[in-house]
């Protein structure tokens, strides 16, 4: 039992931080990173709708089905 107490006391007495920046700095960096990613996603939010008509379909029969046609071959 004394070995466990010695290990616990040694672990509790060692509270030195070796982080290069304060802990809140890591949270600030993460928040900035996620804001940057959110801005990138937000900037591409309407690309599909703007360029949907420019895409050449690989199979014209499928294109006519999408627009209500009978899909003639």
Map out the domains of the chain as residue ranges: 2-66
Give per-residue pLDDT as tens, 11-58.
666 666 688 999 999 999 999 999 999 999 999 888 777 776 766 666
pLDDT, residue 1, reads: 64
- Are 13 and 7 within 8 A, CB to CB? no
pLDDT, residue 31, reads: 98
* Residue in the block written with tokens 């003639």: 72
> What SS3 state is found at 68?
coil
Residue 9 pLDDT class (50, 70, 90 cuts): confident
């Amino acid at each position: 039992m004394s070995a466990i107490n010695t290990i616990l006391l040694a672990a509790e007495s060692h509270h030195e931080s070796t982080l290069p920046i304060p802990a809140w700095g890591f949270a600030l960096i993460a928040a900035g990173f996620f804001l940057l990613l959110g801005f990138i996603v937000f900037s591409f939010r309407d690309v599909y709708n703007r360029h949907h008509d420019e895409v050449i379909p690989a199979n014209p029969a499928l294109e006519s089905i999408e627009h209500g046609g009978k899909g003639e071959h």
